[in-house]
Structure 1
């Protein structure tokens, strides 16, 4: 299974490069919130990729009764890809300071409304708490007073102030800005989503090709390799963008410490 070996080695190399980069830039103060969140999201990206490596058997385990579960690998692959999209949108995509602040405030509103929705399922009136009320009022006020946000249409402002969206842009818009192929991404996303949510496509053919049983099969090996290829792709994209964002800061930090 040379293809699997190549995909696994590519994944290991990409993860090692990203991990080394993260460690090399450790301890550098973040001059902006964008840099701070870039550090957090890049770490999350590496952590997710590392977990995928624990699920994907090493090539030398082929034929040795290893546990195979491409479906779970696929679910984590979707998590990693979504992490990359957030990383690019919040930390790499070029925009004005006013727009960036609006993006961040919208995420704060989405975070608040997500907590409200979650606790409501338990019968807890989270939004009724004084602290929660103050958070919502503050975030909405910050959005309404934001120059970039005020230039949106009334319909758009009403829509986003509901807090149901974490992004002002669609996935396709973010991907286009990042230079990604939208059609190629959509295939990856649909494939992994069907396993993440256990939609019919994720289990209808379990009887075919001996897949989804934890045992080795051609399908398990091929699909795991496919996911590893995707993981490598987004790791390397993030690595280049993260390095570009922090490289100047590292040089400045070294010069200041001389």
Structure 2
């Protein structure tokens, strides 16, 4: 995101609103990036890979899922046929936020480890988080035996981490924190932002805007009906914010695809912009054999 666009977003609404012509350009660019991501994802599926790469492809798949939901929710999208429009920024805010947070997780997980012990620690911290989260969330609704299995698995993972030489070199306070199972990653969010060279000021501004609309917080209703804002009709404010995150998420998603190509160089040829082939999807993007089956 260019600095000028960032400053406009920080003020709430650009001095020069996103015109419909500009909006269509941003939508088409995001659409093309989604197509490339889906084509690359399908071209690399089902392969044997190191754990950090394998789990990374699963994270990438979830990013793609939210990207599809985003492009389908965006007004004037070719992905959906509708006799009405919904220009409500909240319709895409949750998906945009998931793409942003998924990007950091994907970059962290697929970053080459220094050695096998670091890789082992990275994966086991994620496993421990999953076990403890399931215990906390499902504790009152699942069978007691299942909970005991989760607790047993969590203890086994803790034991593996304590025996890991790379993990044991981390600061004691960090080890203690990670062993509680409440952290998904070893790197903190500021460290993950450094990994992708993303300025914290920009990230948290975007994150806070998206969170306000993903939830029902004050930003989402204090200025409702101001020139149509928040009503679902076409208006400068919602069109600006949707356009802003079409542009921003296209950049994020494109970087994710770049990282996938680094991991799987042979997948590069399927990256053909809005003409990339994948299935299911719009007819234009279906491989030839899938088009024949649709007839």
TM-score (norm 1): 0.87
Asked whether the equivalents of residues 135 and 147 of structure 2 are also in contact (C-alpha less than 8 Å), the reply is no
User: 2:222 pairs with 200, 204, 217, which one?
Assistant: 204
- Is 1:81 aligned to residue 96 of structure 2? no
What do residues 22-71 of structure 1 show as CA deviations (whole Å, max 9, x unaligned)? 233234x223112211221121111110110111011799xx84122211
Mapping for residues 206-245 of structure 1, pairs under 5 Å: 206-245=224-263
1:195 maps to 2:195: no
- 1:72-111 deviations in Å (ceiling 9; x for gaps): 2111100111111111111135533212211111111111
Matched, 1:31 2:49: yes
Q: Distance in 1 between matches of 2:267 and 2:27?
A: 33
Residue 113 of structure 2 corresponds to residue 100 of structure 1: no
RMSD over equivalenced CA pairs, Å: 2.5
Displacement of 1:113 after TM fit? Answer: 1.2
- CA separation of 1:186/1:99 partners in 2, compared to 1, >3 Å: closer, same or farther? same
Q: How does 1:128-143 map to 2 (within 5 A)?
A: 129-143=147-161
CA contact (8 A) 1:126 1:132 kept: no
Residue 144 (str. 1) matches residue 162 (str. 2): yes
Per-residue displacement from partner, 1:151-204 (whole Å, max 9, x unpaired)?
123222222111111112122211211222332222211111111232212221
Quick one: distance in 1 between partners of 2:227 and 2:133? 40
Q: In the aligned structure 1, how far is the partner of 2:121 from the partner of 2:144?
A: 24
Aligned CA distance change for structure 1 residues 41 and 18 (closer, same or farther; 3 Å): same
Deviation for aligned residue 1:236: 0.4
Aligned CA distance change for structure 1 residues 18 and 128 (closer, same or farther; 3 Å): closer
Deviation of 1:127 (Å): 8.4
- Hey, what does 1:183 align to over in structure 2? 201
Aligned length: 247
Question: Which of residues 39, 46, 55 is equivalent to 2:73?
Answer: 55
Q: Which runs of 5+ in 2 are unaligned?
A: 1-19, 269-295
Alpha carbons of structure 1 residues 70 and 137: separation in structure 2 relative to 1, 3 Å: same
Change (3 A) 1:46 1:147: same
